[in-house]
Amino acid sequence: MKFDVLCHINATGCTPSSLYTAVANQMLFSKPSKALIRCDISLDAPYIMVEIEELAQLDRQTKCLLLLSQLLENIDITTLRKTSRISQIVFVLPQDELNNPVISDDTLSELLAEVISQQVPDFIQTTTLDLKSIAPDTLIIALDSCVSYQYVSHQAKNNVVQVLNGPPGIINGEGGCVLLTHLQGTLSAHLYNGELNEQLNQAEACVNDTYLFAGKESLAWQKKWFANTQALYSPEDELIELANLNNTIGHQGVANDPAGFVLANSYLNNPLNEGLQHVFLLFNSPNEQLIKISRSENS
């Protein structure tokens, strides 16, 4: 898959350099919530979240609408359609607790009509993105906000959420991004198959590679990662240090996978990393997935 990152919004801002600097230097934008969630039978505690300051105090739907409007402003779709063939637009957007879209298809049509003077192109709305079956010439617009008490308390029923002074868990955030998959994309993504250790073998991964983690943090995951990478080490090697996207900008919900591609782009296009040939992007939900991202030969 070849692609380009067109724009993004998260707690670090809107530029690739600020995202790279924040993640590479393990900068923290997180804060404890005012509300408490149940951690275990005997403990309630604030959860840790990363909120975009300008969106604070707004409800989830309003946040998502503002994020979407800003993303559409940041990409000139009319010009883009003249220079690139776009076969479809895919909106990766959240649903509410009743499994209804937070942003309706009618609203999407209205927003697109405002920014496109010609006929509105076909689009679909989904909550998941199948990375192995994305067609070329697809414009992907993904966003979510995952910091509300309602969202996090529901999530905590099946996941380990990071709470104040608690064990490693998911730090939630909010943001969005726009990707374009096309044959002239400046970045190329190669996905591997099988269990995590098999994927690492197929990729010929080594301890000196750059690893970007964009998944759900937990102590169980850390143990699994160490177990699967032990074979890569020789006695003198230092421990692999994962660049952790979600510790910096928070887990992006349904937009988390595309956000990982935005991080890879920020690493490969940073002047400080001119000699960096590729990075390994790592997801662990719903399954472990290793992706090698490199500069395309035609870029």
Tokens matching residue 217: 């943090």
Mean pLDDT of the chain: 93
> What's the pLDDT at 76?
72
3-state class of 116 per DSSP?
A: coil
Beta bridge partners of 175: 144
pLDDT band at 49 (very low <50, low <70, confident <90, very high): very high
> What's the pLDDT at 117?
66
**Mean pLDDT of the region 93-120:** 89
By the 10 Å C-beta count (0-12 exposed, 13-18 middle, 19+ buried), 175 is classed as buried
Q: Give CA–CA dist 132/125, Å, rounded.
A: 18
pLDDT in tens, 232-247: 999 999 999 999 999 9
pTM to 2 decimal places: 0.95
> What's the pLDDT at 67?
98
- DSSP secondary structure of 183-208: TT-SEEEEE--SSHHHHHHHTT--TT
Tell me the longest C-alpha to C-alpha distance in the chain: 62
Domain range annotation of the chain: 2-181, 188-295
What b/e readout covers 253-281, taking b as 16+ CB neighbours within 10 angstroms?
A: bbbbbbbbbbbbbbbbbbeeeeeeebbbb
**Mean pLDDT of the region 275-299:** 91
pLDDT band at 78 (very low <50, low <70, confident <90, very high): low
> What's the pLDDT at 71?
96
pLDDT in tens, 160-180: 999 999 999 999 999 999 999
**Mean pLDDT of the region 191-217:** 97
pLDDT in tens, 270-281: 999 999 999 999
pLDDT band at 299 (very low <50, low <70, confident <90, very high): very low
> What's the pLDDT at 198?
97
Q: Give CA–CA dist 245/162, Å, rounded.
A: 15
Report the DSSP pairing between strands 187-191 and 2-9: antiparallel
**Mean pLDDT of the region 79-87:** 74
